[in-house]
């Protein structure tokens, strides 16, 4: 966790975070060491539609990376979301915090667990094939966020739905199974 700050560069965000830690030491300590975190915190989700397209590509070391193809890039810093978070914090007498990767590196956070069962051409390069079937298992499929290999930087719900719908469309119907 880190204080929610807004600055253009990583260095600016780091300095703003350090400043916040010194200006509001008790609020930050209270947020860092809260007892029964799950019961005494609020998680806010702010979503908006942006007209952009991301493209997945292999990184230099073989992993997956998303890059902006067109439109506005997704960002961990949304002034509207931060205004809402500050208003809620005022109402509940709380402290707006975010994950440190958002504050320091500008990496958007997702509540969806992604990766772990990535597609590949064979068992050596992935967990599932192009039809979502798990390698070396009969009649076992993965149709959730674990099939998405990297955080696209936006809510992956529609991608998960599309991947699942495609996988389901490839399952033979009962009529075809019964005729064979």
**Strand positions, DSSP E, 89-134:** 97-98
Other CB atoms within 10 Å distance of the CB of residue 28: 19
Q: What is the rounded (10 degree) CA torsion for 17, 44, 115, 6?
A: -30
Q: Is 133 known to be catalytic? A: no
**Dihedral pair phi/psi, residue 118, rounded to 5°:** -70, 155
Quote the CA–CA distance of 61 and 54 in Å, as a whole number: 20
Count Cα neighbours of 97 within 13 Å in the Cβ-side half-sphere: 21
Please say whether the beta carbons of 96 and 30 come within 8 A: no
Q: Kindly list the distances between the CA atom of residue 80 and the CA atoms of 24, 29, 46, 83, in Å, as whole numbers in the listed order.
A: 23, 26, 9, 5
Question: Which one of 24, 42, 112, 133 is the catalytic residue?
Answer: 112
**Dihedral pair phi/psi, residue 89, rounded to 5°:** -60, -40
User: Among all residues, which ones are annotated catalytic?
Assistant: 112
């Amino acid at each position: 966790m880190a204080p929610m700050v807004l600055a253009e560069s990583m260095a600016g965000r780091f300095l703003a975070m350090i400043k916040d830690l010194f200006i509001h030491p008790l609020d930050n300590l209270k947020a860092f060491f809260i007892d029964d975190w799950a019961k005494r915190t609020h998680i806010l989700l702010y979503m908006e539609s942006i007209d952009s397209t991301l493209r997945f590509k292999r990184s230099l070391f073989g992993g997956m990376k998303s890059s902006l193809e067109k439109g506005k890039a997704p960002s961990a810093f949304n002034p509207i979301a931060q205004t809402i978070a500050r208003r809620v914090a005022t109402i509940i007498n709380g402290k707006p915090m975010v994950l440190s990767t958002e504050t320091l590196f500008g990496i958007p956070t997702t509540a969806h667990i992604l990766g772990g069962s990535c597609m590949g051409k064979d068992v050596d390069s992935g967990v599932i094939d192009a039809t979502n079937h798990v390698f070396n298992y009969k009649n076992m499929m993965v149709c959730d966020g674990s099939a998405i290999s990297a955080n696209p930087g936006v809510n992956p719900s529609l991608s998960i739905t599309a991947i699942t719908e495609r996988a389901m469309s490839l399952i033979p119907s009962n009529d075809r199974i019964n005729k064979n």
